[in-house]
Structures are given as structure tokens and as C-alpha cells.
Amino acid sequence: MSAQREAVVAVLLRADRLLAIRRGPAVARPGYWQPLSGKVEPGETQREAVVREVREEVGLTVVPLAKIWESETDDGRFRLHWWTARADTGEVTPDPGEVADTRWVTPEEFLALDPVFEGDREFFERVLPDL
């Protein structure tokens, strides 16, 4: 069993909405809706990883706010560090390989998207309402 890799999940906030992305053709499990996420590179802090991944995947410059939750992927390969981040300005310009579609949604609208990962559903049902 290999060691878990570290990854960040960026819950990007703009007004009362958050950014949902649909996984693109170049990544595993294409078609799933999720918050933006990506691996933490060696020597990088989680905060730095949030900023870099968001810039790479959707072209936004964000301000990480706080780490709010930890979970792991359903296959156990990644430990996910969930961060909130402000994305008040800028146009979303997705990387077409990684991101097939984007949508600013309310938490309720996120839960209506299909398909979504169980861990993400748990976050929106259980963790986010208490923040």
C-alpha cells in the first residue's frame, strides 16, 4: 500500500456562490462535478497549492482563507485538505483538458448536480452549513 498523497480542495467563494467544475477529458473520472482540487507539490504549502491549482485550472487569482476540513478520496489514494478561498474578481478561463465546464452555484444547487463524489456531498450537507 503506497503512502497517501496530499491534495487540496479549493472551495472558491464569490458572493453566496461557489465554483463547481466538471472534470475534463484529460483527468481520471471525467464528467464528475466537484470543487476545484489538485495535488500538493513537493516543498509547497497547502496555501500555495490552492493558489497555483486555481490559477492553472481556471485562471483565477485567489486569496486562501482557511483550512476547514480533511477527508480522503474514495479510493484512499489522497488525503484532501479543504480550503475556502475568495475569488471576488476575474473571469473563469478553464484549462480544457482538466475542466470541461464550470458553474457558480449555491450549495443546494451543487447537491443537485450529477454525478458528484460522495465525499463532496458529505462536505456540502454536513460541513459547509456549520461554517
For the entire predicted model, the pTM comes to 0.94
* pLDDT, tens only, 46-74: 999 999 999 999 999 999 999 999 999 98
Helix (H) or strand (E) holding 115: none
Mean pLDDT of 91-105: 96
Read off the pLDDT of each residue in 22-27 and give the average, rounded to a whole number: 94
What is the per-residue pLDDT for 3?
A: 83
When pLDDT is averaged across residues 27-34 and rounded to a whole number, the result is 95
**Complete domains list, the chain, with CATH:** 5-130 (3.90.79.10)
- Percent of the chain whose predicted confidence (pLDDT) is above 90: 92
At residue 131 the predicted structure's pLDDT band, cuts being 50, 70 and 90, is: confident
CA distances from 86 to 66, 82, 90, 96, 99 (A): 10, 14, 11, 23, 20
Give the pLDDT band (50/70/90) at residue 1: low
